């Protein structure tokens, strides 16, 4: 499995505040079957998560070494979950924030409750810098209910990520139904854990559910999307 969205890197956002917890989160990911784990700390001015790439790289290298010493069979990559505003374009240019690993894909999120930013504009702006925007947990945006809108964003070049926890129904029936419908319509590119210390990892459960409902091809396509590696 490839998990492109997780708040496991310690000390840099609200994901994990200790090394031990982060190690445990990696162990849980491995238990779920994750072989390629992206660590995507928030970059979000409004919540003061402003740890930049240079700082994250230092923590990441040290954390990677810790995992390596344990001999665990998991590849780690660094990225960011970027809360979109027009200012992040300059941060991307200056490489203060990072795409996912060595790919040209950038994980972006928006306000969950109200449309503060024009999503198509965001997709256009990030694409025109040469990146592929991956919109995080699309099913969670309360104002994004028209499934045709998802198709428009994809047509503009965006990729779509949904949370494993939404697939298993932990975010409510509405979000679960939305996520399932999007999978059915072939409009999901990645399922990810979005795991924090405070939230369990549901990748294994979600995989089983998708496997049962949509078959192995679909499950592999969205849980094991190698295009980001």
* Two tokens, residue 72: 């665990």
**What is the spatial distance between Cα 81 and Cα 227, in angstroms, rounded to a whole number?**
18
**36 within 8 A of 2, measured Cβ to Cβ:** yes
Q: Using the rule CB under 8 A, which residue among 6, 26, 29, 153 binds other proteins?
A: 153
Q: How far apart are CA 77 and CA 68, in angstroms?
A: 13
Determine if 124 is a binding residue for other proteins (CB under 8 A).
yes
CB within 8 A of 39, min separation 6: which ones?
Answer: 6, 7, 8, 9, 60, 63, 76, 77, 78, 79
Place of tokens 């991956």: 134
182 contacts other proteins (rule: CB under 8 A): no
Q: Does 169 bind other proteins (CB under 8 A)?
A: no
Q: Does 181 bind other proteins (CB under 8 A)?
A: no
Residue 108 touching other proteins (CB under 8 A): no
Token pair in block for residue 10: 């310690």
Q: Could you give the angle at the alpha carbon of 174 between the alpha carbons of 162 and 228, nearest 5°?
A: 5
**Coil vs helix vs strand at 178:** helix
Q: Is 187 in the site for other proteins (CB under 8 A)?
A: no
* Site map (CB under 8 A) of other proteins, residues 34-73, x = contact: ----------------------------------------
Report the distance separating Cα 108 and Cα 101, nearest Å.
14
Tell me how far, at minimum, the Cβ of 88 lies from other proteins, in Å: 9
Q: C-beta of 156: minimal distance to other proteins in Å?
A: 7
Decide if residue 119 touches other proteins (CB under 8 A): yes
Rg (CA), the chain: 16
**For residue 167, what are its two tokens?**
């697939």
Instruction: For residue 146, state whether it binds other proteins (rule: CB under 8 A).
Output: yes
Angstrom distance (rounded) from CA 185 to CA 132: 21
Which secondary structure element, helix H or strand E, spans residue 15, and what is its range?
none
Stretch binding other proteins (CB under 8 A), from 18-26, 82-90, 161-169, 194-202: 82-90
- Whichever of 65 and 148 has its CB closer to other proteins, that residue is 148
Residue with Cβ nearer other proteins (65 or 87): 87
Size of the site for other proteins (CB under 8 A): 20
Say whether residue 90 binds other proteins (CB under 8 A): yes
Any contact of residue 106 with other proteins (CB under 8 A)? no
Which residue, 85 or 224, is less far from other proteins as judged by CB? 85
Interface positions with other proteins (CB under 8 A): 86-87, 89-90, 119-121, 124-129, 146, 148-149, 152-153, 155-156
């Amino acid at each position: 499995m490839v998990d492109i969205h997780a708040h496991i890197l310690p000390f840099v956002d609200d994901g994990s505040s200790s090394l031990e917890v982060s190690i445990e989160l990696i162990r849980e990911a491995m238990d779920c079957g994750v072989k390629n784990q992206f660590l995507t700390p928030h970059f979000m001015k409004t919540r003061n998560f402003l740890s930049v790439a240079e700082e994250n790289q230092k923590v990441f290298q040290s954390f990677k070494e810790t995992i390596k010493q344990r001999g665990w069979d998991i590849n780690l990559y660094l990225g960011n979950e970027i809360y979109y505003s027009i200012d992040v374009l300059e941060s991307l240019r200056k490489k203060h924030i990072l795409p996912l690993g060595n790919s040209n894909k950038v994980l972006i999120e928006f306000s969950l409750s109200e449309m503060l930013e024009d999503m198509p504009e965001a997709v256009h702006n990030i694409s025109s810098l040469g990146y592929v925007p991956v919109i995080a947990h699309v099913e969670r945006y309360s104002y994004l209910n028209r499934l045709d809108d998802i198709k428009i964003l994809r047509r503009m070049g965006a990729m779509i990520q949904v949370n494993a926890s939404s697939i298993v129904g932990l975010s409510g029936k509405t979000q679960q139904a939305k996520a399932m419908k999007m999978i059915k319509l072939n409009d999901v590119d990645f399922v990810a854990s979005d795991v924090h210390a405070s939230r369990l990892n549901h990748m294994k459960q979600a995989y089983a559910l998708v496997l049962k409902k949509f078959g192995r091809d679909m499950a592999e396509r969205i849980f094991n999307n190698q295009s980001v590696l």
